[in-house]
Structure 1
Amino acid sequence: MNNIKFKSKRFFPRNIGDIMSFGFLVIIIPLVFWFETRTVLPAMYPDFGFWQVYHTIVAILLLFEIVSNFLYIILVDTSIYSVTMPAELKEGWWFCAPCESVAPPRSYHCHMCDVCILKRDHHCRFSACCIGHYNHRYFMLFLFYLTVATIYATYFNLFFILNYINFNWGLLLKVFFPLAFLVFGLDTSTNHVYLVIFIVVLVGSLVSLLLLIYHLTLIQCGVLTFEKNRKLKGYNLGLKANIEQVFGTRWYLVWLGPFVESPLPSNGAKWDLTMDKHVKSL
């Protein structure tokens, strides 16, 4: 299914940065969902009214897409061990000493994951693993649905906050230093907790939107974050082919969920190069 393999080893964040980022995401996603469905929507619509039920269903669907794609990011094996490696070096291949294995083009060793990653894009702190050939699709869909959900929540939160918080000059300090007021006990009121959640969701919507635009631009150009930072080129096969390299041959259906089959045209080890308008297989 989807020509993917799941990791055989258990997943644990390996360093403090991964632990903190991963932990934050695992806590904030259900917290925001609870806040939106149990606090914001009931305050804006009658209990069990049409619009409250409608927006609750939308929130559940968005939560499902976010969580399921996030799990696939973590569980799908995108290392060089997910494919069979040859014993000898081929043209464009290299030998990885830490992995004690040959590695194909576009694969790079991640010292945090301690393994070579096929078509390595970057190491994602929030999922505590690398984004590579086989989980790139799920990362992009996670980012897309996270962007939709946070913008959606920010819209409702804005109206909710305007009705529950009285604006004054002291509020400006709370807006810029919301967590400080909460952590140091300067304001532990329910309204301030609402303000903190509102700001976290607002910032999250802006960050996720910028990341989504950035990564979509890279996909359009057929380049990875790792390659862009090192000015490596040569894999731009055209918009449709570039999309299929990430989302698979059934790219138009993958938005339905991570369970939709969409085989990738490459196994992560063999790539087509674009050299002077000619395509060369490597």
Structure 2
Amino acid sequence: TLSGAALLLGAAAVAGSWLSGAVPGQAAEGSNSLLESVADTAQALGSWLIGLGFILFVTWGRRAYRDPSARRTIGILWDVGTFWPRAAHPFAPPCYAERAVPDLTWRIASWTARTGGRLVLCGHSQGSVLAASAVWQLRPATRRRVALLTYGSPLERLYGRWFPAYFGAGPLAGLSKEVHCWRNLWRATDPIGGPVRIPADGDRPEVDRGPLKDPLAYGRSARHPLPEPILGHSAYQTDPVFTEERDALLDRLPPAPLPRQTSPRRTPRHRTPRRDEPQRPQGSSGRSSG
């Protein structure tokens, strides 16, 4: 609500300045006292917000340099902001997905074509967005040999909410039907990843598995003398469920076709004639001299 009100107020201020050719405070002079005070407040507030934004930028930069958790949070925001091409936001930093997704697609296609094998593509956090985007680009014949395992994924929680045309319920359901099999692991303690909310469809099970147990063990025991830490968004691969689901996805993929075996060509053997068999005259291959 607050962001929407700020957006509307900013749009109105820009439109008024563009039409009148003056800043909001000057444009509202001589009008209603309430409108004039609102314009002056908005103009002063904008100046203060610019200064506050610069101070926050410097503060977060110093904190990211000293605090690994803050650096990780800023890295996540950076990954989200630089995922989309510059055509969507031309003033953003260079987009890494324009190279990462085609490279990943090429490696999947070339490996499956060369070996004829099966592949379980695992993606964590922002890597799950790259993995889903790469699977979308595969040919149907290659996609049938690929299984998708995502964990700690913001596909539905973040991308589905803010970019529904690309990662909404419809596109994610279509991806589930196009890929041979897909499983998504999530925890209730994960502030970033979550379920993708794709129900079971026929012989296809539900995509989500969760919430996973976190911490992995409660209380104290001889095996766990100290309390286990809450994992949250990290260390999904240490959970036994990860190995179980990865192996199950590999088993669900169709087996690789057997290589075609061609029998070697037999070379004719020279038969030694028997003693009682008459000898055939052999012609000369060279020119005779006479």
Q: Report if TM-score (shorter chain) is over 0.5.
A: no
For Structure 1 versus Structure 2, the TM-score category normalised by the shorter chain is: under 0.3
Q: Structure 1-normalised TM-score?
A: 0.23
